[in-house]
Amino acid sequence: MKKFFTISFMCVLFFSAAAGTNNLMQSPSTQLAKIKDTLPENIAREDSLIEEVIKTRKVPKKEKVEYFNQVTKYGFKNLFSNYSYNAALPYTAQVNPNAESFVQDYIKAHGGYLQNMKGWGQPYFKLIENILMQYGLPKELKYIAVIESNLSTGATSNMGAGGPWQFMPYTAKDYGLVVNGLVDERRDYYKSTHAAARYLLYLYSQMHDWLLVMAAYNGGPARVYNAIKKSGSTDFWRLQYYLPEESRTYVKRFIATHYIMEGGGGVTTFSAGTLPFGNDVNRTTYGSNSSNSTTPFKPTNLSANELADVEVLSISGKYNSGVMVKNLQMTIALFNHFNPSFDATLSVTGNFDLRLPPDKMQLFTANKYQILNESVQALLGDAAVPDFKTVYPVPVKKKHQ
C-alpha cells in the first residue's frame, strides 16, 4: 500500500484538569451532567436534543434530524482522510497509517466474505440506512451490524447478546425493545435498528468522536472514560492501549470493514451462478438452481383498461413477492400479472417499477417499511416473520355533485 495521509479526528475534550478526580464508576449520564459546563454551547444543545429523542423513544422531527445530520456529518470516511474525504485521491491513499497493517491482515482473512456480503447484504443495508437517516446518523454505522452479527437476526453471543445489533437484554429494554419469554424484539430488524440508532445517538452525546463511540459500543462508556483519564487524551490512537484488547480490536475491525465495503468501488454484481434461477431472470417462482428448471416465466401483457388505471412506483430493496401479496391482500397470480419477474429483477438490479391498481398502491405506500422489514426477515430465514397488523390508508370521501 501507499504511504497514507495522517488522519485528524473530530474530537471534543470532555475532561478539564479537575476531571481526573471523577468517579468513573458513576453512570454516563451522571458524568455528563458534571462536565456539562465544560462543553461548548452548541455541544450542550446537541446533547440536550439527543437526550430528548432517547427519552421519547420516537423518530425525531425533521428539523432535529437536519441538525443531527450537520453535527455528525464528519462521518466515517473522515476516519481515513485528512479530516475530509478527498474523492480525487485513491481511497487506499487515505487510510489511517495506524490501521494499515491491521487492515491488510483483515482483508486477507475476511476480504472475500465481506466482498460477497456487499452483494447479498444490500437489502439489510438499505433498511438500516433508511432508519439511520431518520435519526440524522451517518449511514456507515450500518457496518456495526456486520461486525456484531454478520447481519443475522439469529446471532446470539455467549454472554446473551442477541440480534443483528447484539443487544444485551437490559440495554434492549432501556431502548424500548420487548425481551421476555415470548417476544424478543432484538431479532426484529426494524425495531432493533431504531433502538440501535437511539443508543448510538446517546453514545455520540457522550463521546463526540466516532472511534470512541465504536469502543464504547463494544466495551461500554465507563471503560472509554477510564482510558481517557489514564491516557490524558481523547484521541483513540493515543488511548487505545488503555482499553481492553477486544475493544481496541473492535474499532480496527470497523475501520477494516468500512475500508473493504467502501473502498472497492461499489456493490458487487451477481453472477448467474449465485442466483436461484440461473440465467433466467424472468422466473418469478424459485426452485433449486437446476438445469431441470428450464421453463421461463412468460410475462402477461396488461390490457388497455388495466394500463389506464395502473399506478407505477419505482422501488428498491429486497422486497419479497410472498410478503407483498400477504400485505396487499392479492393473489400471487394477480400480483405476477401486474409485476412479472418481480423477485428476479429485484435480485439482479435492486430496482423495480412496481405496478398496482390505485387501492393496492395506497396499501403499499402505507405499509412499505413494514413490508420491507418482513421481506428481509423472510430472506434471513432464521426468525419467524412477525404478523404485523396492516395499516389501511384513510379513505378519501368523494364530494357529491
Residue finishing a domain among 232, 263, 294: 263
Higher pLDDT, residue 317 or 356: 356
Confidence bin at 21 (pLDDT 50/70/90): very low
Confidence bin at 217 (pLDDT 50/70/90): very high
Q: What is the mean pLDDT of the chain?
A: 71
Cα dihedral 62, 65, 66, 67 in deg (nearest 10): 120
Residue 351 per-residue DSSP state: E
Count of the separate structural domains present in the chain: 2
Q: Is residue 401 part of a domain?
A: no
Domain that holds residue 342: 272-380
In percent, how much of the chain has pLDDT > 70?
A: 58
Same-domain check for residues 255 and 276: no
Residue finishing a domain among 235, 263, 291: 263
SS3 382: coil
Higher pLDDT, residue 101 or 279: 101
Q: Check residue 119 and give its pLDDT.
A: 86
SS3 162: strand
Q: Is residue 391 part of a domain?
A: no
Instruction: Give the integer Cα–Cα distance in Å for 252 and 185.
Output: 29
Q: Check residue 47 and give its pLDDT.
A: 62
Same-domain check for residues 159 and 120: yes
Q: CATH code at 83?
A: 1.10.530.10
> Which of 335-339, 365-369, 375-379 has the weakest average pLDDT?
375-379
Same-domain check for residues 239 and 280: no
Higher pLDDT, residue 272 or 307: 307
CA atoms within 13 A on the CB side of 351: 4
Same-domain check for residues 150 and 82: yes
Q: Is residue 145 part of a domain?
A: yes
Q: Is residue 2 part of a domain?
A: no
Distances in Å between the Cα of 184 and the Cα atoms of 59, 131, 172, 193, 344 are 21, 20, 9, 14, 32
Instruction: Give the integer Cα–Cα distance in Å for 352 and 344.
Output: 10
Q: What is the mean pLDDT of residues 351-379?
A: 85
Global pTM value: 0.55
Q: Is residue 355 part of a domain?
A: yes
pLDDT digits (tens, 9 = 90+) for 51-71: 666 666 666 666 555 655 555
Biggest distance spanned by C-alpha atoms of the chain: 78
Higher pLDDT, residue 150 or 13: 150
Residue finishing a domain among 263, 296, 320: 263
